[in-house]
Amino acid sequence: LYQQPNWITYCVRDVPKNVDRKGYNFRKDAQVWTSNNADYKNNIWDKGHLAPAAAFSDSEGNLKATFSFLNCTLQHQRLNRKEWAQLEQQLPDWAEAFGDMSVKVDVLFESNHRVLPTGAHVPSGFIKRIQFPDASTKCFYFPNEDTLNKNWSQFEVACD
């Protein structure tokens, strides 16, 4: 209906980078109605990975799986390239220090969320819940807007 994923879960592991993401493009799934390239043309929305490509660069198959519109959301370019990316870069360090972590990202839509002329719905925000091996959790809420160069840690919220 909204052409966006509702949520995703994935595991962050301490793995080597064996494959570079250069040259990969997002692809549609023939059986699921998702956003497509037209939704991202000439606007402020990036193709935001929900499960980051870097976390799956240990093999070509794993990396390729992240370049699906099933794992892609309309994400404000400043959020995607700044705070969201910074938290994604922190996760491998935590995995190296503490072990494999489970991550769930919920894609949120407020009742008055934006709908693009193409018909794709723009998420209002994202909640990222990280569960560490000791069962402790950290949660972050990111509004889908220009984040004004805040530090990613300023988006941490109580997990409830």
Per-residue pLDDT tens over the stretch 80-121: 999 999 999 999 999 999 999 999 999 999 999 999 999 999
State whether residue 149 is helix, strand or coil. Answer: coil
- How far apart, in whole angstroms, are the C-alpha atoms of residue 100 and residue 119? 38
Which tens digit of pLDDT belongs to each residue from 21-68?
888 899 998 899 999 999 999 999 999 999 999 889 888 999 999 999
Q: In 3D, which of 88, 100, 97, 12 has the Cα closest to residue 48?
A: 88
pTM higher than 0.95 for the full model?
no
Report the pLDDT value the prediction gives residue 72, as an integer from 0 to 100: 95
Burial class (CB in 10 A: 0-12, 13-18, 19+), 56: buried
Model confidence band, residue 160 (pLDDT cutoffs 50, 70, 90): confident
